[in-house]
């Protein structure tokens, strides 16, 4: 089973509009609501891949109940700690010119007691999990070192753990050497405090992180796929060109693809092809954290994995 952790759950709203301009009245042509937060996207996608999943984290108030209701409708098993404060909403405005503008609420404060309750539940969840993913930001009231503690506990029980976050939680989390991280160039620059001016410097920075004890360093390249750094080689997984519909959730879909690959014992080349094809298939749909299997299969055959060094 793949367990996904989302501490900062959200109701994701996608607004489709015509022209977008500041200071005006925007008429929404179409609106879709989905259970959001990076880890929930991972859970939904991993389930679409055919794996057993469990979504964990915090939910609160009417919005949190709505998230649980939507997950139940999608048959996504979940075990959340209920909080007194309301779960946030995040809005993605998709304009006719192809641009995507996101408004992300920070998330209401979580109490110390609620954090302790979650950590107790997380310890129990680890025992029944094969792979664990930890994704996204943390809400107010949660210490920046919580991901480090979670990674340490998972590794003590010999469970692979994938960490996809940024800022201070990432800086703290990598101290515990998660199995996989998925930073972009800006996040690597912030982690190491050095300038990155080209692809070669990006790879060298990624190799430095990998040598610190992280088995897989996956560097997001957007539409150009991902660079994957392991003990043996540096790989580039490059997808074919596609007509993108919505890029929100593509990174989470890639994390799900890698989690599934680890769960199934794929070779590194097959794992990269699978993760990149899942991520690209997500970009072909309006719904966040969703893909059509026939799209994924078609893309899988067209993803090119090359050994850079």
Contact between 290 and 303 (Cβ < 8 Å): no
Spatial strand order in the sheet of 30-36: 30-36, 10-16, 88-94, 100-104
Question: Smallest Cα–Cα separation from 132: which of 57, 74, 81?
Answer: 57
Give every CB contact of residue 262 below 8 A, 6+ residues apart in sequence: 131, 160, 162, 179, 180, 271
Give every CB contact of residue 21 below 8 A, 6+ residues apart in sequence: none
Q: Would you call 34 helix, strand, or coil by DSSP?
A: strand
**Is position 52 annotated as part of the catalytic site?**
no
| Spacing of C-alpha 12 from chain mean position | 14
Catalytic option among 12, 224, 252, 301: 252
Q: What number of other Cβ atoms are within 10 A of residue 51's Cβ?
A: 18
The residues that are catalytic are 252
């Amino acid at each position: 089973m793949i367990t996904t952790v989302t501490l900062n759950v959200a109701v994701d709203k996608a607004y489709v509009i015509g022209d977008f301009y500041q200071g005006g009245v925007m008429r929404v042509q179409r609106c879709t609501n989905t259970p959001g937060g990076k880890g929930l996207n991972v859970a939904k996608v991993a389930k679409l891949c055919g794996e057993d999943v469990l979504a964990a984290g915090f939910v609160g108030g009417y919005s949190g109940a709505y998230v649980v209701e939507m997950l139940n409708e999608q048959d996504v098993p979940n075990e959340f700690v209920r909080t007194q404060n309301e779960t946030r909403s995040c809005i993605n405005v998709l304009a006719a010119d192809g641009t995507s503008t996101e408004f992300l609420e920070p998330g209401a404060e979580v109490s110390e007691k609620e954090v302790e309750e979650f950590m107790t539940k997380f310890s129990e969840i680890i025992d029944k999990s094969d792979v664990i993913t930890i994704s996204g930001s943390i809400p107010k009231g949660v210490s920046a070192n919580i991901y480090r503690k979670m990674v340490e506990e998972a590794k003590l029980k010999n469970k692979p753990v994938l960490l996809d976050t940024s800022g201070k939680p990432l800086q703290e989390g990598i101290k515990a050497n998660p199995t996989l991280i998925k930073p972009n160039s800006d996040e690597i620059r912030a982690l190491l405090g050095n300038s990155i001016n080209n692809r070669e410097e990006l790879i060298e920075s990624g190799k430095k992180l990998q040598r610190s004890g992280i088995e897989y360093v996956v560097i997001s390249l957007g539409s150009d796929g991902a660079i994957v750094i392991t003990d043996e080689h540096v790989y580039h997984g490059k997808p074919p060109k596609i007509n993108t519909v919505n890029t929100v959730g593509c990174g989470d879909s890639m994390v799900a693809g890698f989690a599934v690959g680890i769960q199934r014992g794929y070779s590194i080349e097959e794992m990269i092809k699978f993760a990149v094809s899942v991520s690209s298939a997500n970009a072909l749909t309006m719904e966040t954290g969703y893909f059509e299997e026939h799209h994924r299969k078609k893309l899988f055959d067209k993803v090119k994995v090359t050994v850079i060094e």
